[in-house]
Amino acid sequence: MLVDMNSFFASVEQQANPFLRGRPMGVAASLHETSCLIATSKEAKAMGIKTATSIYKAKKIYPGIVVVKNEPEKYREVSRQINTIFSDYTDQVEPYSIDESFLDLTSSKTNPVMVGMEIKRRIREEAGEWLTCSVGIGPNKFIAKLAADYQKPDGLSVLWASQLREVYGGKKLSDLWGISRGWTKRLAGLGIFTPRQLMDYPLANLMAMFGKPGYYLWQKVNGLDEDIIATEEDVSKSFGNSWVLNFRTMDKNLLAPVVLRLAEKAARRMRREGFVSSGVYISVRLADGGGFQQFRKLKFKINTGLELYIQAMSLWQSWKFSSPVMHIAVGFTSLSPKMNQTSLWPKQEDNLTPVLDKINDKYGEMMIRPGSLTRTSDYAPDSIAFGK
């Protein structure tokens, strides 16, 4: 089962402020006219104002739209409340993102449809009457995701592999979860433009062209995935943060504070989950559509934002920006659980960092911080980390 909250950030804001209910409204990380809406209400979507629409374009569609600045901790708290409800039905819960969770109900003795209906009711009663969700039920994650998208908002759908050909009617490959833009381009070279065409394409030919990834893609679109729920106890693949800038520049000196703050926020999350990293990445998207991305494998372990920042700065030294930067992402990869063994040569920050974490956990994010992070909130305010 996939439980997908509808217009989550906007609905939480409407739940918190009754004056916003029933009104076209959006949520943005910055109220600058060129900033994009990270969420829009059901009423705004009905007018054609979608997520990622810039504020000034949204106002052209509907001048009366209300835009509020996001409050990430508010959304995290509601997400925690909702996931607590899920734990009453199964211990196999995968929070896929802040507003989506997969539930494994294979061992449940209750009809999954009844579970879905009860979850929808409890979310309204316990988390907020203005909060709705779309529930999708299927034999694996891919089909459950398709089912949840089938009826929005506030729907509940059951889908089986035998129904896929019918559901795929009128859909493009890019409409399917997990099929990236890169895959659509490669498949187009083979004359494959629709899910039905991919279903019918000879598997041997796909494997000859793409190897195992070709098989996995064919398996997915035919509804044959055998996946598992990755619970919070499972090792995450990465910890990172990204931000769409509320200013535009090609000057790396002005962009450095953004990288520093994003790195520190990612490090806080990683330490909270008990991991260290031996790999880093940084990516930049430019206003002209171009961009850069690079990974680095390290021969040592790191767990602080400053260490990630230093590595990221060395990675982008040779990059020459052809246009202003509009988006930056930075993070940790190659994770392993942190061992609590005492080092023979401890660094000063080994003792200081846990103390800073405890203070910030109690009194608020970045309440106490290294001097190098002073005023970096001007460049990269608190934001939600989507996905894993």
pLDDT attached to residue 28? 93
pLDDT attached to residue 365? 59
Are 284 and 258 in contact by the 8 Å Cβ rule? The answer is: no
Superfamily per CATH, domain 171-221: 5' to 3' exonuclease, C-terminal subdomain (1.10.150.20)
Q: Integer distance in angstroms from the first to the last C-alpha of the chain? A: 18
pLDDT attached to residue 109? 85
- The boundaries of every CATH 3.30.70.270 domain in the chain are 73-161
Tell which phi-psi region holds residue 114, choosing left (phi > 0), alpha (psi between -120 and 50) or beta. Answer: alpha
pLDDT attached to residue 373? 56
List all residues 6 or more positions away from 9 whose beta carbon is below 8 Å from its beta carbon. 27, 38, 39, 70, 75, 99, 384
- The boundaries of every CATH 1.10.150.20 domain in the chain are 171-221
Q: Please name the amino acid found at residue 344.
A: L
From first to last of its 388 residues, what are the pLDDT tens digits of the chain? 999 999 999 999 999 999 999 999 999 988 888 888 989 999 999 999 998 899 999 999 999 999 999 988 899 899 989 999 999 999 888 887 789 999 999 888 889 999 999 999 999 999 999 999 999 999 999 999 999 998 889 999 999 999 999 999 989 998 898 787 778 888 999 999 999 999 999 999 999 998 888 898 899 999 998 777 765 554 456 888 888 787 888 999 989 989 998 998 899 888 888 888 999 999 998 877 678 889 899 988 998 888 999 999 999 988 988 888 888 999 998 888 876 544 444 555 556 666 666 666 666 655 666 665 555 455 555 555 444 4
Which of 117, 104, 100, 110 lies closest to 156 in space, CA to CA?
A: 117
Topology classification of domain 8-70:
MutS, DNA mismatch repair protein, domain I (3.40.1170)
pTM comes to 0.65
307 tagged catalytic: no
Strands 133-137 and 156-158: parallel
- The boundaries of every CATH 3.30.1490.100 domain in the chain are 239-378
pLDDT attached to residue 16? 95
pLDDT attached to residue 230? 60
Half-sphere exposure of 94 (CA within 13 A, CB side): 19
Of 100, 118, 273, 307, the catalytic one is: 100
Topology classification of domain 73-161:
Alpha-Beta Plaits (3.30.70)
- The boundaries of every CATH 3.40.1170.60 domain in the chain are 8-70
Q: Which CATH number fits domain 239-378: 3.10.20.90, 3.30.1490.100, 3.30.70.260, 1.10.3720.10?
A: 3.30.1490.100
Are 294 and 286 in contact by the 8 Å Cβ rule? The answer is: no
pLDDT attached to residue 232? 53
Q: How far apart are CA 325 and CA 318, in angstroms?
A: 15
pLDDT attached to residue 342? 44
